Copies of this chain bind each other. A is one copy, B any other.
Amino acid sequence: MKIGVVGLGRMGLNIAIRLKNAGHEVIGYDPAVKSNEISCVASMQELATTARIFWLMVPSGVVDAIIASLEPYLQADDIVIDGGNSFFKDSVRRHDALAQKNINFIDCGTSGGLHGATIGFSLMIGGNRDVVEKLKPIFSAIAAPSGFAYMGPAGAGHYVKMVHNGIEYATLQAYAEGFHLLKEGTYKNLDLASVAHVWNHGSIIRSWVCELAENVLERDSDFTGVSGSIAESGTGQWTVDTAHEVNVAVPMIEKALELRAWSRKTGGNYATKMVALLRYEFGGHAVKKETQDV
């Protein structure tokens, strides 16, 4: 299929390359990025004259602006897919607004970080089921084997991805806290990389996060020069706010969110340094140096 990819940052470029490698015709557009791997055009207008399906992979804060700049060139039955971390209520609003003009809007939560480039991503998809059905060749090119599914009507994909990220906040913090207790606890000379390695082979808590922890600890288990200030993209806060709204208790996610705020105020501790490093390990998220202001 022919698809225009808007936003060629870390995630967008990887997705464009996976689409291209699967035989799709990919046209990229990003005012800030020139890629040699993907044929790019110089304007949104140019993109919209060639493609009728658009994959947006941009920060959630600019999705409205991107859609506004694309909209003048859109035609009935065009499909706009937001693959970023948008708030699900915004996705419902965008879906409904575009539906007025018979333009299809699909929300797709995309997990997997930088490693998704090679093994494929996990995709949680919301919107009109028939449209999603039509896009299967695109989703299956981007996804890991068995790594995509239709979640429900508009917003459901981003809703499920939001909850995924809430769980991610809590599990990152939980592992990091455990390693903190190993590092500064009763036994002072534990080989933390070896602990993570053994945990990844047969234990109940083996996981992708624990594999990333093993990588991080193998490099330097003292986290020399790393700030314990953890950034966030907003999905954890949305999870907690939504949980309050629907009256479901999420004490673990809430605690992890609080700890991120605390880490930015105080510079954090060994555990929050580890969370910052894990976020870098999976997503390329910036890690502050200890000498920088937090």
* Chain A interface residues (CB < 8 Å from chain B): 88, 111-113, 116, 119-124, 143-149, 151-153, 155-156, 159-160, 163-164, 166-168, 170-171, 173-175, 177-178, 180-182, 184-187, 189-191, 194-195, 197-199, 201-210, 239, 242-243, 245-246, 248-253, 255-256, 259, 269, 271, 282-283
For A159, the chain B residues whose CB sits under 8 A away are 185-187
Contact status of A111 and B202, CB under 8 A, knowing A175-B167, A207-B207, A209-B207: yes
Cα A121 to Cα B159 in complex, Å, equals 36
* B190–A152 touching, CB < 8 Å: yes
* A204–B88 touching, CB < 8 Å: no
A111 to chain B, nearest CB (A): 4
**Top 8 closest A-B pairs, CB basis?**
A207-B207, A144-B202, A122-B203, A170-B174, A122-B202, A147-B201, A111-B203, A147-B202
Measured CB to CB, the nearest residue on chain B to A170 is B174
* A174–B167 touching, CB < 8 Å: yes
Cα A186 to Cα B82 in complex, Å, equals 20
Measured CB to CB, the nearest residue on chain B to A112 is B202
Q: How many copies does the complex hold?
A: 2
Say whether chain A's binding surface is mostly helix, strand, loop, or mixed.
helix
Q: Which listed residue, B121, B174, B190, touches A202 by the CB 8 Å rule?
A: B121
A180 to chain B, nearest CB (A): 6
